[in-house]
Chains A and B, each alone.
Chain A
Amino acid sequence: MSRRLPVFLVLDVSESMVGKNLDLLQEGIRSAAARLRTNPHNLEKVFISVIVFAGRARTLVPLVPLYEFAPPELPIGGGTGLGAALDHLMKEIDASVQSTTAERKGDWKPCIFLLTDGRPTDTPGPQIERWNGRYRTRAHLVSVSIGGDADAELLARLSSDVLILQSTQPDSFVEFIKWVTNSIELQSASVAMGKDDAPELAKPAKDLLSRFDLAKPAEGDTRIDERFAVFTAKCQASAQPYLIKYERTSQMVGTKDPSLAGRFGLNRYDLQAVHRISHSYFELTGPEGAIPTVNSSLLRGVPACPYCHTAAGLAVCCCGKVHCVTEEGVQKCPWCGQTGEYGSSTGGVDITRGQG
């Protein structure tokens, strides 16, 4: 009877991850699984589950043996609901991790890698309490903050292993995935010898990961991810959704730090990318709190619609939602159905932004 080693990947798929990070993460999961598959210990022991969260959380892949694991396609959502993610994770642990009984040896302590790149948009206090009370001692949880913007203090309340992924080097993500894979291997070898007290974490490449230091002072606390302004839009012709992502501009004074930018009055955003998304986005997006907006005068660059390729991909309907418009004539809003003519505005319009 082989004891299983459950591995949970709990991944932040909020809007701020859209783009290169998400592609790299997806590819990373594929390559990690491929590497793990070559080790016979892993093939017998390792079980993998993938949970994704934005505003809401969802199990993308339930706990399956490594040899059955097929790398999933990662969806996108709005918001960063850490509380929802923890809730979901705890439910999954209850449902799928087997404990030891008199007749059968149960699973090794599950290894959980929690990845997030932004501050939570919900209040995870009660979930953290529940985690610490009933789950912390029977699991190994490693939290990784991507780029250092996540609320590391909050993550530190969950486990003593909080690592910050410096995403400055071009292949940081690839190295990071290697580190996750190595850590899983180490843990797998460790439990093979009967040791299961602390998670065996691999030694990361130089300057890749740094441990979070509780002593350092925290940055400002915001619920909205200020590095990016992301808008959800729909194509007028096909009603398909897409995301428009603007990044806070680093002008000559050059800063991406929101508090510093505020001081210098650097509040502009440059168009970074446009991405098609599927309807799963809306399933993953959590309920909005206060509706945050960005004034359009702060945005530089106009996206093309990725479906019908019209040049004007950012038009705001009176219902507040964004959609694309063709160059002339009467337009119909794919969100609310109202029709009308659109012109360019001089003063700037407040547009509803995503939570990030």
Chain B
Amino acid sequence: MDGIASRARLSPAARDALSALSRSLAQDLPGALVRHVVHMHRSSPLSLRKLRAVSDPHLSAMILLIGREIMRRDKRAIGALAVRTTSSEPADAVDREEAIAFSSPSPAGAASGASDSVQEEARMQSPQPASKPAGHDPVPTPQSPSGAALQASRLPQVVRSVSLRNATVGRPYDMPVAIPDRTPGHDVEIRSPADLGLAFDREAGAIRGIPVVAGEHPVQIRTVIGPSPGAQTLILNGKLIVNPDPKSLWKDIPSDPAGPFAKPDEASARLIGPSYVMAAASKRGRSHANQGQFRDDDFHLECADGGWQVAIVADGAGSAKFSRQGSRVAVAAGAAAIVAALARHADARFEAALRDHGDKGNDKIVRDILYQILAGGAFAGTKAIGAAAATLGVEKDYATTFIAVIARRYVFGHFFAGFGIGDGGAGVLDAEAGNAWPLTMPDGGEFAGQTRFLAPGEFQDATRLMSRIRYKVVDRYSACLLMTDGITDPKFDTDANFAAPQRWQDFWTTDLAASVQCTRENPTLDRDLLQWLDFWSPGNHDDRTIAVVLP
């Protein structure tokens, strides 16, 4: 720094400040600079105005030299400092801003970082003055840096700030910017340290383009304004916040196959039954994928004697650490128990009552038998969880929801019965007629996620348990669907919607059946479903599982 000091004829105070500054330049660049300039002002007994009149040339020389030093040491830094000076007439103290901006050298000029650019523009915010201070002075925050070029315009400058709306990577950006008096024919330049992917569209009078780099970017818009003899360079300084593309923020970290109760991140299956074709797909949600956690959902498909088909889906509780195991053992044990109970209870008496279930007495018979089958299956699932918890952890660690459906074709129609504990749901729909019948009912407790889970406590109130069972006989149907809340939340949103046939109709015709060929002939039905599970729905990143039963 010595050579520089001698060139500039600095006062002793300024020289001291310079050497102290050079020591701290390594740590904190703009802050150190401003602090030392403040210090220099305070240490002089002159008032600020007189100080400027005397040492202006020293001051600007010092700032220029310090700025070059900053550029040399930190090529990534964009230091922008502005000096606000007062003209020498006290009566009409007109502020005149001299702008000196130091920007990191452009890639082409990197080598010449230390060269003497004759025209350098600088802008530095003057520190808040306080003469004869007794307490401590506030350290003013340096003006946020604005990127500017090393090359200056020879025209007088008008500097203003501009406020820009936020942008998002990959999304088209359109920000109108009013430039009064713009000289036609002159380009409107947009400068920024990063290549933003934006340009000024003169016809539209707006900044347009598709941003490519996320972050907070200082932006400078420059053009020439005014008539020919009185033209000026207009500089608009602003900051553009570019949000990252949300999709890019979701990582997909595989779960640890060697971890406890490890489960594949996705699964699918297809089963051709005596009457119907069943398929299911289950996929880990983005929330879990982002952290390399396991899929907590599960499903089970099975065919049983007598033309019966069983489908179960389950959603392990996010906060329960072994819920992936809970859902797995619950659906397996549940299916086994249901199959056994079907063989024992779904007999001729059942069929006879079902045929005429409009009669109250028959309805009770049907329900009592379904209770044995479905509630019994759920209870078996609960016992399986209890057994798992006996070895490791506690039952709460395995908490899971449970949605089961049995289906069978009778001479008098297609029969479906459903049982559900927890969120998600199942239903039957007839797309041609626009009818839909939920096979599960919503649990209470809307607001704070009071989802219920498979637990012994759920089996104490028989009436309530019975109310979880619903059944339906239809002449014709398009599909029976079982879904965990990873699907019902984005697709139905509320319980009221889940009960609305129109919503089912829309979901089927415009969404599921439009994307997946839901017919018994489709050999890749299960894989197609799995692919569909990848749909993008902001805010809905839970595990997703769906099972379909097709005629």
Interface residues of A (CB under 8 A from B): 1-3, 19-20, 23, 27, 30, 34, 37-41, 43-45, 66-70, 100-105, 192-197, 237-238, 247, 249, 270-276, 300-304, 306-311, 326
Q: Which residues of A contact B133 (CB under 8 A)?
A: 271-272, 301
Query: Quick one: given A27-B141, A45-B539, are A311 and B128 in contact (CB under 8 Å)?
Result: no
| Contact in complex: B139, A274 (CB < 8 Å) | no
Query: Quick one: given A271-B133, A275-B128, are A311 and B47 in contact (CB under 8 Å)?
Result: yes
B496's closest neighbor in chain A, by CB? A102
B122-150 near A? 1/0 per residue, CB < 8 Å? 00000011111111111111000000000
| Contact in complex: B168, A247 (CB < 8 Å) | no
| Contact in complex: A194, B540 (CB < 8 Å) | no
- Kindly state the separation between the CA atoms of A190 and B136 in the bound complex, as whole angstroms: 44
A21's closest neighbor in chain B, by CB? B138
- Kindly state the separation between the CA atoms of A273 and B130 in the bound complex, as whole angstroms: 6
Q: Which residues of B contact A69 (CB under 8 A)?
A: 166
Supplied contacts A37-B241, A196-B449, 10 more A-B pairs, CB within 8 Å: A1-B539, A39-B249, A43-B243, A100-B447, A101-B494, A102-B497, A193-B449, A271-B133, A306-B128, A309-B47
Q: Which of A68, A192, A303 contacts B287 (CB 8 A)?
A: A192
Q: Within residues 158 to 196 of chain B, which ones have a CB less than 8 A from any CB in chain A?
A: 163, 165-166, 168
Q: Which residues of B contact A196 (CB under 8 A)?
A: 447-449
| Contact in complex: A273, B138 (CB < 8 Å) | yes
| Contact in complex: A23, B141 (CB < 8 Å) | yes
Q: Which residues of A contact B130 (CB under 8 A)?
A: 271, 273-274, 301, 303-304
Q: Which of A102, A193, A197, A271 contacts B135 (CB 8 A)?
A: A271
User: Considering only CB atoms and an 8 Å cut-off, how many residues of chain B contact the other chain?
Assistant: 55
B517-541 near A? 1/0 per residue, CB < 8 Å? 0000000000000000000011111
* B177 nearest CB across to chain A (Å): 15
- Check B254 for interface membership: any CB of A closer than 8 A: no
Q: Within residues 236 to 269 of chain B, which ones have a CB less than 8 A from any CB in chain A?
A: 241, 243-244, 246, 249-250
| Contact in complex: A302, B132 (CB < 8 Å) | yes
Interface of A, secondary structure class, is: loop
B488-511 near A? 1/0 per residue, CB < 8 Å? 011001111100000000000000
A301's closest neighbor in chain B, by CB? B134
- Check B204 for interface membership: any CB of A closer than 8 A: no
| Contact in complex: B165, A40 (CB < 8 Å) | no
A244's closest neighbor in chain B, by CB? B130
Q: Which of B93, B446, B447 contacts A237 (CB 8 A)?
A: B93
- Kindly state the separation between the CA atoms of A205 and B538 in the bound complex, as whole angstroms: 33
* B164 nearest CB across to chain A (Å): 8
> Which 9 pairs show the lowest CB-CB distances between chains A and B?
A2-B539, A194-B449, A102-B496, A40-B249, A270-B134, A304-B131, A67-B243, A272-B135, A44-B538
Q: Which residues of B contact A307 (CB under 8 A)?
A: 93
Q: Which residues of B contact A237 (CB under 8 A)?
A: 90-93
- Check B451 for interface membership: any CB of A closer than 8 A: yes
| Contact in complex: A195, B490 (CB < 8 Å) | no
Interface residues of B (CB under 8 A from A): 47-49, 86, 90-93, 128-141, 163, 165-166, 168, 216, 241, 243-244, 246, 249-250, 286-287, 290, 318-319, 446-449, 451, 489-490, 493-497, 537-541
- Kindly state the separation between the CA atoms of A104 and B494 in the bound complex, as whole angstroms: 6
| Contact in complex: A70, B163 (CB < 8 Å) | yes
Q: List 8 A-B contacts (CB under 8 A).
A: A38-B244, A43-B243, A101-B494, A270-B134, A271-B134, A302-B132, A303-B131, A304-B130
* A2 nearest CB across to chain B (Å): 2
| Contact in complex: A103, B319 (CB < 8 Å) | no
| Contact in complex: A193, B49 (CB < 8 Å) | no
Q: Which residues of B contact A249 (CB under 8 A)?
A: 134-135
Query: Quick one: given A40-B246, A194-B451, A274-B130, are A70 and B90 in contact (CB under 8 Å)?
Result: no
| Contact in complex: B449, A195 (CB < 8 Å) | yes
Query: Quick one: given A1-B493, A103-B496, are A195 and B132 in contact (CB under 8 Å)?
Result: no
Q: Which of A20, A44, A68, A274 contacts B129 (CB 8 A)?
A: A274
* B53 nearest CB across to chain A (Å): 11
* A304 nearest CB across to chain B (Å): 4
| Contact in complex: A273, B446 (CB < 8 Å) | no
A196's closest neighbor in chain B, by CB? B448
Q: Which residues of B contact A302 (CB under 8 A)?
A: 131-132
* A159 nearest CB across to chain B (Å): 17
| Contact in complex: A2, B540 (CB < 8 Å) | yes
- Kindly state the separation between the CA atoms of A104 and B135 in the bound complex, as whole angstroms: 57
- Kindly state the separation between the CA atoms of A274 and B134 in the bound complex, as whole angstroms: 12
* A74 nearest CB across to chain B (Å): 12
Residue from B129, B451, B541 having most chain A Cβ neighbours under 10 A: B129
- Kindly state the separation between the CA atoms of A39 and B290 in the bound complex, as whole angstroms: 10
| Contact in complex: B318, A194 (CB < 8 Å) | yes
Q: Which of A100, A101, A193, A272 contacts B318 (CB 8 A)?
A: A193
Q: Which residues of B contact A272 (CB under 8 A)?
A: 133, 135-136, 138
| Contact in complex: B319, A311 (CB < 8 Å) | no
Q: Which residues of A contact B136 (CB under 8 A)?
A: 272
| Contact in complex: B49, A271 (CB < 8 Å) | no
| Contact in complex: B93, A301 (CB < 8 Å) | no
- Kindly state the separation between the CA atoms of A30 and B91 in the bound complex, as whole angstroms: 39
Q: Which of B48, B135, B538 contacts A304 (CB 8 A)?
A: B48
* A324 nearest CB across to chain B (Å): 11
